[in-house]
Amino acid sequence: MVWIPSLMRDLTGGQARVSAPGRTVAELLDALEAAYPGVRERLCPGGRLHPSLAVVVDGRRAPLGLLEMVGEESEVQFVPAVSGG
């Protein structure tokens, strides 16, 4: 299950959550791109995850980013990257 960021829901017909197959975040993005063209360019301009974003899989930050493995029941989110002071 992928949580679609609100500013991208114009691509998914307003859907906030969509299902997509894939063993990795990258494969999942391929499937999303096929179903909702334009998703990849928004998240990964130039082919790499935008530096302002982090991938979160099942509530944990995914250090491998697009290469992170996902399960069939996984919940994937793209959130702003934050740190601290």
Positions touching other proteins (CB under 8 A) are 3, 5-8, 10, 16, 41-43, 45, 50, 52, 56, 58-63, 77-85
Cβ distance to other proteins smaller for residue 58 or 67: 58
- Residue 28 CB, nearest approach to other proteins (Å): 16
Considering only CA atoms, which of 29, 8, 12 is closest in space to residue 20?
29
- Residue 23 CB, nearest approach to other proteins (Å): 18
